[in-house]
Structure 1
Amino acid sequence: MRMVDIIQKKREGQALSTQEISWMIDSYTSGAVPDYQMSAWAMAVYFRGMTTAETADLTMAMVASGQTIDLTTIPGVKVDKHSTGGVGDKVTLILAPLVASFGVPVAKMSGRGLGHTGGTLDKLESIHGFEIEQSEAEFIKQVTEAGLAVIGQSDDLVKADKLLYALRDVTATVDIIPLIASSIMSKKIAAGSDAILLDVTVGSGAFMKNIDDARLLARTMVDLGNAVGRKTIAVITDMSQPLGATIGNRLEIAESLAVLKGEGSSELQYFIAELAQLMLGLADVDKSLDEILTHLSNGAALDKFKAMVTAQGGDMAELLASPVHKTQFSKVVRSQKSGFVTSFDALSAGLLAMRAGAGRAVKSDLLDMDAGIKIFKKIGDAVQEDEPLFEIFYNKPDFDVDKESQDLLDKISISDEKIKIKEILEIIK
């Protein structure tokens, strides 16, 4: 086979065979196919698309390009969860221990954030001593004994995806649904869980900006998962405003801890409980929302969180004693009028948190674990003139907090109309 023939075939809109896709991925991973040819193929896919069969073949070829994790020695149905990302997305921190508290093992490999705020791993690393690196044997042992583990993705997992994603990132070929779906699902399949819940976010703070694209991505991933024997469900969730009341690594850990104690936002508790109900259902565990919420109020979910943190070297005593670390500087931003909040732009809030130090503009950026934003009013909330809307926490002496806070304030709308948004927009099975 020749890569130039595969590029030409895809350029002309023809479907590639299983053998052609397997050869292409093997050759690219080994270095026999250069970046410039692979980028030409990715651009051809951008314009010509891929069939469902091609996307499935690409996914499994990528799975075969690296290590796979065997979780069969862990008793029960192992469940995993993936989010396409968003602003203030602390779901895993609460959802994983909540599901594990019902005896369903949660084995999750997660990633770091690039953009608005840190990823799940970054947030966990704001806990003093928390270790995200584990061997496969240690990972399996912890899930077996503690019921859950959230660790960093192995460098040997899905090698082709690492190479291809880095290439797509610099060739304007990231936003291609078949390639997004195969990238996500190859990692989930290689990680070894029996069932997967996919949280596909949509809105200004999400990768998918409109519901049609989110629906297509969700459907593609669900079909991929089910086709290879992984029971898969996707939820499309609203990310037009930040999730919860905090953005920032340690701030989000503190908010998650409050929810795990049965405190904090009842809206966030209910949203997480709905996701937990779906995730438990993937393991054939049928629980009502009231039963699930009880595990937040009675400490069962918190106990699982503590077990995970302790097993991975985290200082749980320090976290409980001082959930939030004080920053050098802060600024409270107040409403300039009375009414109801009708919009709170998630992207603007995420970028503000990033510039304050909570996220990375490039991979080499260092995170300020304590920087971020606390939100006092969200969509649907009543607000009075001069009442606090949000507070910025930062340690950068040269951070132009007045300009930055005004930029976000300009993206928050307040009117006489009270509106309500729904977190889960659709469920795709």
Structure 2
Amino acid sequence: MLLPQEIIRCKRDGKSLDNEQIKAFVTGLVDHSFNDAQVGAMAMAIRLQGMDINETVALTKHMMNSGVVLSWPEIDGPIVDKHSTGGVGDKVSFMLAAIVAANGGYVPMISGRGLGHTGGTVDKLESITGFNVTPTNEKFQAIVKDVGMAIIAQTENLAPADKRLYAIRDVTSTVDSIPLITASILSKKLAAGLDNLVMDIKVGNGAQMNTIADARVLAKSIVDVANGAGVKTQAIITDMNQVLGNSAGNALEIKETLDYLSGAYREPRLHQVVTSLACAMLVDSNLANDNKHASTLVENSLSNGKAAEVFAKMICALGGPADLFDKPWQSMVQAQVIQDIVVQESGYITSMQTRDIGLAVVSLGGGRVDNTQSVDHSVGFDAILPLGTKVSKGDVIARVHASDQESAKNAAQNYLAMLAITEQAKEVEPVIYETVS
């Protein structure tokens, strides 16, 4: 028998784990022969000592096979997905899945909850009254077949080893380990039975990867492991030096999604990320001939309302309301206090401490400090002005949504401290940096 403490010691001392040791760890995640303290210690050992490509592949495959691995024999079309390494205000998955499904792709998206300072796709969906993020596998597959997309949480049967490890990483400062990020993402994605995957690797002060060099390492790790496992994968490195879109917070990001899909408002940087990822997914899955063709398909599915229709059908199929687009705030809770954040000086917004804004949402109650904590879906920030905007003293640069006046006041003061306002404008980072394939 392989003792947990001996496996931990091996990795703690910088040695490579063999297949049997990794299998024992993954088994321990599922049957709890590794207790929470041991899982946390193992995660920290991996975070500090790293894993080579063979270890990462083994960890990914064992976590994938820790539960059900889906197949799609009844679907005659590409099974495609996208995953983001997470950021602040990142609601891309909702728009992207709807666009790809509207153009003939099938998107079985298995997503996570908030992790560290980043918001969780599942937490955002749970803002919607009645929405069920944990359907049976049979219902999940049926909705993907009928609607073209479904976004759910990890069920007990899909990559259960990752589900437990994911929650413990969140509260042990081991979120930013490249092997753990790679195995976590790909175990869920490979368990979904994908043909193609596009990765959105965030880089910047609001991302897990702060430098382009680190982002490239993660992108290469994911692309190498996924392609080695037989899933055609490319990664696009995108900017996270500011909030993506104009909102950060669970219900607020669902509202921005509805505005985007309906055409009421599409924040330009958000739209560029969505379009770039959608084009990659459509081309890789042979639903478009090239990027120009894909771009036309994307714009058509937005302008003719097909993408919005697909998203609305998914919401309804998973227990949400049929009229979410028409009456969003009848099916989502608004914050008790909504307060303008007013700038105290004139100039240009030249920097944003994006990670701190994400943590401010957590502090308002919109995320978790421990993995058993409930989430206040109503809180966060919206009407966020982007970098490069010229402002005058007294302008509203964002709004805070909070549960009480004191929380709102503190969050507004903190938000102002997270921005730099200067007399001279500075060049804003590009939205899309590069592609790794």
TM-score for the superposition, normalised by structure 2: 0.89
Q: Which moved more, 1:351-360 or 1:247-256?
A: 351-360
Alignment-mate amino acid for residue 140 of structure 1: Q
Partner of residue 200, structure 1: 201
Question: Does residue 251 of the first structure (1) align with residue 257 of the second (2)?
Answer: no
Partner of residue 435, structure 2: 427
Secondary structure of 1:316's counterpart equals coil
Partner of residue 329, structure 1: 337
User: Could you give the per-residue CA deviations for residues 89-143 of structure 1, whole angstroms, max 9, x where no partner exists?
Assistant: 1111111101111011111111222444642122222223222221111111111
For 1:44 and 1:418, locate their aligned partners in 2 and report how far apart those are by CA, in whole Å.
Answer: 40
Q: Which moved more, 1:33-42 or 1:298-307?
A: 33-42
Partner of residue 413, structure 2: 406
* Alpha-carbon spacing, 1:35–1:92, altered in 2? closer, same or farther (3 Å): closer
For 2:118 and 2:37, locate their aligned partners in 1 and report how far apart those are by CA, in whole Å.
Answer: 32
Q: Which moved more, 1:49-58 or 1:25-34?
A: 25-34
User: Could you give the per-residue CA deviations for residues 234-262 of structure 1, whole angstroms, max 9, x where no partner exists?
Assistant: 12221111110111222111111111122
Secondary structure of 2:429's counterpart equals coil
Q: Which moved more, 1:160-169 or 1:99-108?
A: 160-169
Alpha carbons 1:377, 1:383 under 8 Å: kept: no
* Alpha-carbon spacing, 1:220–1:115, altered in 2? closer, same or farther (3 Å): closer
For 1:37 and 1:364, locate their aligned partners in 2 and report how far apart those are by CA, in whole Å.
Answer: 18
Aligned partner of 2:375 among 347, 367, 370: 367
Alignment-mate amino acid for residue 320 of structure 2: G
Q: Which moved more, 1:166-175 or 1:102-111?
A: 166-175
- Structure 2: segments with no counterpart, 5+ residues: none
Give the deviation of 1:228 after TM superposition.
0.8
Aligned partner of 1:393 among 401, 405, 409: 401
Alpha carbons 1:379, 1:419 under 8 Å: kept: no
Question: Does residue 315 of the first structure (1) align with residue 317 of the second (2)?
Answer: no
Give the deviation of 1:376 after TM superposition.
4.1
TM-score for the superposition, normalised by structure 1: 0.91
Question: Does residue 76 of the first structure (1) align with residue 83 of the second (2)?
Answer: no
Give the deviation of 1:163 after TM superposition.
4.0
* Alpha-carbon spacing, 1:319–1:358, altered in 2? closer, same or farther (3 Å): farther
Alpha carbons 2:282, 2:294 under 8 Å: kept: no
Q: Which moved more, 1:95-104 or 1:38-47?
A: 38-47
Alpha carbons 2:119, 2:358 under 8 Å: kept: no
Give the deviation of 1:270 after TM superposition.
2.7
Give the deviation of 1:335 after TM superposition.
2.0
Alignment-mate amino acid for residue 366 of structure 2: A
Question: Does residue 295 of the first structure (1) align with residue 296 of the second (2)?
Answer: no
For 1:129 and 1:38, locate their aligned partners in 2 and report how far apart those are by CA, in whole Å.
Answer: 34
Partner of residue 105, structure 1: 106
Mapping of 1:12-91 within 5 angstroms? Answer: 13-26=14-27, 29-32=30-33, 42-91=43-92
Aligned partner of 2:284 among 282, 285, 300: 282
* Alpha-carbon spacing, 1:126–1:22, altered in 2? closer, same or farther (3 Å): closer
* Alpha-carbon spacing, 1:352–1:37, altered in 2? closer, same or farther (3 Å): closer
* Alpha-carbon spacing, 1:168–1:87, altered in 2? closer, same or farther (3 Å): closer
Alpha carbons 1:260, 1:299 under 8 Å: kept: yes
Q: Which moved more, 1:161-170 or 1:94-103?
A: 161-170
* Alpha-carbon spacing, 1:87–1:74, altered in 2? closer, same or farther (3 Å): same
For 2:174 and 2:328, locate their aligned partners in 1 and report how far apart those are by CA, in whole Å.
Answer: 43
Alignment-mate amino acid for residue 221 of structure 1: I
For 1:418 and 1:237, locate their aligned partners in 2 and report how far apart those are by CA, in whole Å.
Answer: 19
Alignment-mate amino acid for residue 108 of structure 1: M
User: Could you give the per-residue CA deviations for residues 11-70 of structure 1, whole angstroms, max 9, x where no partner exists?
Assistant: 565444334433453366445566666666555544443221221112112222222222
For 1:143 and 1:414, locate their aligned partners in 2 and report how far apart those are by CA, in whole Å.
Answer: 46
Alpha carbons 1:118, 1:360 under 8 Å: kept: no
Give the deviation of 1:368 after TM superposition.
2.7
Secondary structure of 2:388's counterpart equals coil
For 1:168 and 1:291, locate their aligned partners in 2 and report how far apart those are by CA, in whole Å.
Answer: 39
For 2:60 and 2:248, locate their aligned partners in 1 and report how far apart those are by CA, in whole Å.
Answer: 33
Secondary structure of 2:323's counterpart equals helix
Question: Does residue 95 of the first structure (1) align with residue 96 of the second (2)?
Answer: yes
Give the deviation of 1:148 after TM superposition.
0.8
Give the deviation of 1:421 after TM superposition.
2.3
Alignment-mate amino acid for residue 85 of structure 2: T
Alignment-mate amino acid for residue 120 of structure 2: G
Give the deviation of 1:169 after TM superposition.
5.2
Give the deviation of 1:325 after TM superposition.
5.6
Alpha carbons 1:78, 1:107 under 8 Å: kept: yes
- Structure 1: segments with no counterpart, 5+ residues: none
- RMSD over aligned Cα atoms: 2.5
Aligned partner of 2:365 among 332, 337, 357: 357
Partner of residue 261, structure 1: 262
* Alpha-carbon spacing, 1:13–1:387, altered in 2? closer, same or farther (3 Å): closer
Partner of residue 347, structure 1: 355
